[in-house]
Amino acid sequence: MSPSLPNVPTIPPPPHPVTYPDSSYSVYGVRRREGVTMNTDVAVTGYIVEIYTPPECEEGRTCPTPAAPHLWIADTRGEADESNRLMIVGYAENQAQIDEAVEQARRGRYEPPDPETGLLPIPTDFFVGNKVKVNGRFTRISGSGFNVSEGLLEYRGHETLEQSPEAQAAATQRRR
């Protein structure tokens, strides 16, 4: 008698690599390996797909305090599915800090804080479409109060790997 077994199923490959040659994780990979990556410092490479902008408050009205600055990266440029995005937090306390740093950088006057102070420089080159490698702590709850069950990254630094056309235009304006 010979057993009648079904054919071996074909399992599709993962949508993205877990890690890249530079040892940074993909967004998919940092979550896939959460048993190893959760509550540790990691580097994650992805595209900036959305940057939070606080809502405008009409003059004379009392508006609620906006959320702290944050953005999302994904493994593909223009990712629309929120479950495939990773939130990045902790790179500035408020939007005014970012606006001031960007304005100073535009004028060629931005001076990052002395590394010995322990303060992180405010990023002036975050634009939707940029490919970045972000260093930080992968966790579920940030020190600034953000809470994401699939994990988020508390910012410790970054490197811009590719610039979007918007970022290239901004860099050209800075040189003028």
- The predicted pLDDT at position 119 comes to 87
- The predicted pLDDT at position 173 comes to 63
74 vs 83, 84, 87, 119, 138, CA distance in Å?
A: 9, 6, 9, 27, 15
- The predicted pLDDT at position 93 comes to 92
Nearby residues of 7 by Cβ (< 8 Å), 6 or more positions away? none
Average pLDDT taken over every residue of the chain: 92
Task: Tell me if 82 is assigned to some domain.
Answer: yes
- The predicted pLDDT at position 106 comes to 87
d(CA 175, CA 56): 30
Separation of first and last alpha carbons in the chain: 83
- The token duo for 1 is 């008698």
Task: Tell me if 15 is assigned to some domain.
Answer: no
Q: Is 0.75 surpassed by the pTM of this model?
A: yes
Task: Tell me if 98 is assigned to some domain.
Answer: yes
- The predicted pLDDT at position 151 comes to 98
Task: Tell me if 153 is assigned to some domain.
Answer: yes
**Cα dihedral 137→120→159→35 (10° resolution):** 0
Task: Tell me if 9 is assigned to some domain.
Answer: no
Domain of residue 135: give its range: 27-52+67-175
Domain count along the chain: 1
Nearby residues of 62 by Cβ (< 8 Å), 6 or more positions away? none
Below-70 pLDDT ranges, the chain:
170-176
Question: What CATH number did the domain enclosing 93 receive?
Answer: 2.40.50.140
Task: Tell me if 60 is assigned to some domain.
Answer: no
- The predicted pLDDT at position 11 comes to 86
CB pairs under 8 A, 24+ apart, for 173-176? Answer: 173/106, 174/105, 174/106, 174/108
Task: Tell me if 1 is assigned to some domain.
Answer: no
- The predicted pLDDT at position 175 comes to 54
Q: Output the CA angle 101-102-106, nearest 5 degrees.
A: 115
Task: Tell me if 16 is assigned to some domain.
Answer: no
